[in-house]
Amino acid sequence: MSQPILCVAVPTPLYRRFDYLPPAGAAHTTPQPGQRVRVPFGRRSVIGVLLEVVTHSDIEQRKLKRAQAVLDTEPVIGADILAMVSWASRYYQYPVGEAFAAALPGLLRQGQSPEATPRVHWRLTAAGQSVDPATLARAPRQAAVIAALHVHTDGLARAALDAPAAVLHALADKGWIEPLTQAPLPAGAGTGTVRGHALNPAQQAAVDCMRERLDTYQPWLLEGVTGSGKTEVYLTLIEEVLAQQRQTLLLVPEIGLTPQLVSRFQRRFPVPLAVLHSGLSDRERLSAWQQARTGLAPIVIGTRSAVFTPLARPGLLIVDEEHDVSLKQQDGFRYSARDLAVWRARYLDIPVLLGSATPSLESLFNVEQQRYRRLALPERTGVAQLPDYELIDVRHAPLEQGLSAPLRRRIRDHLDADGQVLLFLNRRGFAPTLMCYDCDWVAECRRCDARMTWHHSDNRLHCHHCGSQRPVDTACPACHGRDLHPMGQGTERVEQALAEYYPDVERLRIDRDTTRRKGALGALLERARHGRRQLLLGTQMLAKGHHFPNVTLVGILDADHGLFSTEFRASERMAQLIVQVAGRAGRHDRPGQVLIQTAHPDHPLLQLLVTHGYPAFARAALEERRAARLPPVTHLALLRAEATEADAPVRFLEGVQARISAAAVAGVEAWGPVPATMERRAGRYRAQLLLQSDRRGSLQQLLGDLVRQLEQDRASRQVRWSVDVDPADTY
């Protein structure tokens, strides 16, 4: 009888899966999909994921290699993740083995057991609580443990106790201490003492709608203006899901930016939270993953990659700020965590809730197509009102160091009224350009087609695209003149201007440069939250989700970037950013005002946004997309290529273009190839080819065949190429 064949996802940049025979001596047990297996690969031995057990391989049995070992006694990857990652590797055209590698915690990829991670905690038993450490003078190490546990009544981790296992076991044998398999909740957390607000009618209606369909697949779009209480809706639904003993997975754009969110959940629910984000150590990540997988943590909160977290009893998936680009991975495995969450919810037959004040056109289109159902929170909670918008025409009100006179006056007024002012400029550094007034030379990066940004803090020029740096030129390299000047504004320079204009007012600058140190962002946000008569200045880090109750004025220093970009999503991004930043104003009892500096106050989309709000803007923008046959009405994929040789990327993509013509898949068009907008980056030349289709299926078919051909093709080794399906950026 022929042996079973194991189809394995092996971490390698090859697209196919690999077949193996079961390990020797394992004849009596058939391995199960989702278990990890160690297999020989070339001269190495690697860890892969068993995808399927089949009876037939295209490779002759005698040529098949034998797997070396099955690492798990049960699958570490559940059926839903197995299916989702397999599907995503095909949909996003990414090698299946590497897709699984991206989806698994690092320690599991290295072969560690997920069970090994729960760190043991110890606490006093009832008997132990009445033991006085002083009576243990002859056993000082035991006394120390008892004394420590008297202080930490919730228990302490093994490492924190600093005692040998023998000491702990001796105390356990006396019945004084006991191990806990689960970590105690962080201090002050999970008390469950904070009750929710009584919901307002719109919140209640949203909750009621969803409550009726909690046991089946349904995508919901919760469109709630900033400060309308979306999070409160999530919390109420989670309570419901908790009561059914099921788990909720909440995806958020960047946890580092929303420390308030996690603590809000912890105060509300007396349960362990598993929190997954990029700042975790490998061990912390595996531990959170395991808590989710075993169901120990009924609530799982994480960034993009947390969409791959296994859940023992999935009940609800939530994607907060669903419009945010950071939900789409921008290199390697280019998945959209939002779209995968919807896929996973359908597979699991559970609801998925997408929330935003500024929904993506994709999700609004899905509502229009009746694939998603819309829930609306049209008003702010309590007495808070939505802010008023006003445009400042900078053609008639010239900027001085980035600030027009009308804006400066209004800042003064709000500060005098004890208000907090938030200024938004999405450019860090001192000045985005250093220019020679004699010959118009500008300082450019030597490795990119981009200008260098002057940073005052270290007095160096930085390239924000490749990270290279150099000292600021003192003389013009072109004409040797000494008349070099910074042009334009970054946050550093505006901060300096604010110090001159408002010397007696506290200023907080929040951008990547002021928040590099661990904990720096949290400290700044904390000060901002309690600030009055204070100036806040920052990049988009300031725009996201924060609740600053005292902000009464928001100034957007430059709105024009998004209006005339070659990127078709630029105006959507600009509108979302403006509304999100503006949403920081007037969140409490005092009304808010938003001033926008622009040289194009008549721009139709900007007009629509400030006079009729985001929904009207979005409708118009969607019509434009329809007319231009752009997503979400049609589907795109971008083929990118880069190489150190200037002509190689375009030449390669011309070859790809020829293959596409030859394949003649109906309904797919290819545009290009063209050099990228910034052709050279970090010393490499870049080009791209855009594929467009009305039908996702046709595009998928073409791409699937194409990557398999390219994988075999020698020419494709001369360049670095990649496929981006549903690209977030097309430049």
Q: Which H helix or E strand runs over 713?
A: none
458/589 with CB nearer ligand ADP: 589
114 and 286 Cβ atoms separated by less than 8 Å: yes
* CB atoms near residue 499 (< 10 Å): 12
Task: Report in angstroms the alpha-carbon separations of 719 from 310, 448, 457, 638, 685.
Answer: 36, 18, 38, 16, 10
Between CA 623 and CA 628 the distance in angstroms is 9
Phi/psi of residue 346, nearest 5 degrees: -65, -40
Closest distance between ligand ADP and the C-beta of residue 545, in Å?
A: 7
Contact partner at residue 224 from ligand ADP, Zn ion, none, CB < 5 to 8 Å by partner kind = ligand ADP
Residues 330/66, Cβ–Cβ less than 8 Å: no
At residue 31, the 3 state secondary structure works out as coil
Least Å from the CB of residue 440 to Zn ion: 7
Q: Residue 113 CB, nearest distance to ligand ADP (Å)?
A: 39
Residue 518: exposure state from Cβ atoms within 10 A (0-12, 13-18, ≥19): exposed
Q: What angle do CA 283, 285, 286 make, to 5 degrees?
A: 65
Among 547, 569, 681, 684, binds ligand ADP (CB under 6 A): 547
Q: Where are the beta strands (DSSP E) in 432-562?
A: 433-436, 453-455, 460-462, 469-471, 484-487, 506-510, 534-538, 551-556
| DSSP label at residue 136 | G
Nearer of residues 588 and 695 to ligand ADP, judged by Cβ: 588
Listed ranges 124-132, 223-231, 515-523, 560-568: which one lies at the site for ligand ADP (CB under 6 A): 223-231
Q: Which of 613, 546, 539 is nearest to 584 (CA)?
A: 546
Nearer to ligand ADP, 203 or 534 (CB): 203
CB closer to Zn ion out of 277 and 462: 462
The nearer residue to ligand ADP, 219 or 227, going by C-beta atoms, is: 227
| Pairing verdict, β 18-20 and 5-9 | antiparallel
**Phi and psi, residue 386, nearest 5°:** -70, 145
Q: Least distance (Å) from Zn ion to the CB of residue 435?
A: 9
| Residue 576 binds which of ligand ADP, Zn ion, none (CB < 5-8 A, kind-dependent) | none
- The residue (of 134 and 383) whose beta carbon lies closer to ligand ADP is 383
Confirm or reject binding of residue 227 to ligand ADP (CB under 6 A): yes
Minimum separation from the CB atom of position 355 to ligand ADP (A)? 7
Query: Closest CB to ligand ADP among 113 and 385?
Result: 385
Judged by beta carbon, residue 194 or residue 499, the one nearer ligand ADP is 194
- 576 interacts with ligand ADP by CB under 6 A: no
Note whether 381 binds ligand ADP by CB under 6 A.
yes
Q: Given the complex with ligand ADP, which of 224 and 272 has the nearer CB atom?
A: 224
Residue from 22, 114, 190, 224 touching ligand ADP (CB under 6 A): that is: 224
Q: How many residues bind Zn ion (CB under 5 A)?
A: 14
Rounded alpha-carbon distances, angstroms, from residue 383 to 227, 537, 613: 11, 26, 20
Rounded least distance, CB 226 to ligand ADP, Å:
6
Build a one-symbol-per-residue string for 493-522: x at contacts with Zn ion by CB under 5 A, - elsewhere. Answer: ------------------------------
Among 72, 232, 321, 511, binds ligand ADP (CB under 6 A): 232
Roughly how many angstroms between the first and final C-alpha of the chain, as a whole number?
56
Contact at 8 Å (CB) between 529 and 549?
yes
Report the residue number, 107 or 317, with the smaller CB distance to ligand ADP: 317
Where does this chain touch ligand ADP (CB under 6 A) — which range of 2-10, 114-122, 221-229, 721-729? Answer: 221-229
Q: Say which residues have a Cβ less than 8 Å from residue 524's Cβ, sequence separation at least 6.
A: 508, 510, 514, 515
- CB closer to ligand ADP, 583 vs 727: 583
Site for ligand ADP in 139-198 (CB under 6 A): 197-198
Rounded to an integer, what distance in angstroms lies between the CA atom of residue 563 and that of residue 596?
A: 13
Give the integer Cα–Cα distance in Å for 108 and 112: 5
User: Which of Zn ion, ligand ADP, none binds 728 (CB below 5-8 Å, type-dependent)?
Assistant: none
Phi, psi (deg, nearest 5) at residue 619:
-60, -45
Q: How far is the CB of 203 from ligand ADP (least distance, A)?
A: 6
Q: Which is nearer to Zn ion, 472 or 497 (CB)?
A: 472
- What is the closest distance, in whole angstroms, from the C-beta atom of residue 709 to Zn ion in the complex? 33
Structure tokens at 719: 């360049």
C-alpha span between 676 and 697 (Å, rounded): 27
**Which partner, Zn ion, ligand ADP, none, binds residue 323 by CB below 5 to 8 Å per kind?**
none
The binding track of 447-486 with respect to Zn ion, each residue x by CB under 5 A or -, is: xx--------------x-xx---------x-xx-x-----
- Binding map of Zn ion across residues 557-596, x = CB under 5 A, - = no contact: ----------------------------------------
Q: Which residue has the tokens 């699937």?
A: 704
Tell whether residue 641 is a contact of Zn ion (CB under 5 A). Answer: no
- Choose the contact partner of 438 out of ligand ADP, Zn ion, none; CB within 5 to 8 A by kind: Zn ion
Q: According to the binding rule CB under 6 A, does residue 580 interact with ligand ADP?
A: no
Q: Which is nearer to ligand ADP, 109 or 547 (CB)?
A: 547
Cβ proximity of 443 and 451 under 8 Å:
yes
Q: Which is nearer to Zn ion, 436 or 557 (CB)?
A: 436
Stretch of 120-128, 226-234, 279-287, 342-350 contacting ligand ADP, by CB under 6 A: 226-234
> CA-CA distance, 482 to 478, in Å (whole number)?
11
- Given strand 668-681, what is the order of strands in its sheet? 668-681, 684-693, 635-643, 720-725
Query: 316 with 219: CB under 8 angstroms?
Result: no
Asked if 231 interacts with ligand ADP (CB under 6 A), we say: yes
Partners of residue 424 on adjacent β-strands: 538, 556
Whether the Cβ atoms of residue 240 and residue 306 lie closer than 8 Å to each other = no
Give the whole-angstrom CA distance, residue 440 versus residue 615.
43
**How many residues of this chain interact with ligand ADP, rule: CB under 6 A?**
16
Structure tokens given for 114 = 């997920």
Tell me whether the omega of the peptide bond preceding residue 503 falls within 30 degrees of 0, making it cis: no
Which candidate, 487, 594, 499, 581, places its Cα nearest to that of 539?
581
Min CB(657)–ligand ADP separation in Å: 46
Pick one of 164, 382, 467, 522: the residue that binds ligand ADP (CB under 6 A).
382
CA distance 15 to 6: 17
- Element spanning 585, H or E: none
Residue 381 contacts which entry, Zn ion, ligand ADP, none (Cβ below 5-8 A, type-dependent): ligand ADP
Please, what is the minimum distance in Å from the beta carbon of residue 237 to ligand ADP? 12
Bridge partner residues of 354 (DSSP): 221, 319
Decide if residue 445 touches Zn ion (CB under 5 A). yes
Among 17, 36, 230, 304, binds ligand ADP (CB under 6 A): 230
Site string for Zn ion, 402-441 (x = CB under 5 A): ----------------------------------x-xx-x
387 counts as binding ligand ADP under rule CB under 6 A: no
DSSP calls for 280-331: S-HHHHHHHHHHHHHTS-SEEEESGGGGG---SSEEEEEEETTT-GGGB--S
Residues that bind Zn ion (CB under 5 A): 436, 438-439, 441, 445, 447-448, 463, 465-466, 476, 478-479, 481
Residues that bind ligand ADP (CB under 6 A): 197-200, 203, 224, 226-232, 381-382, 547
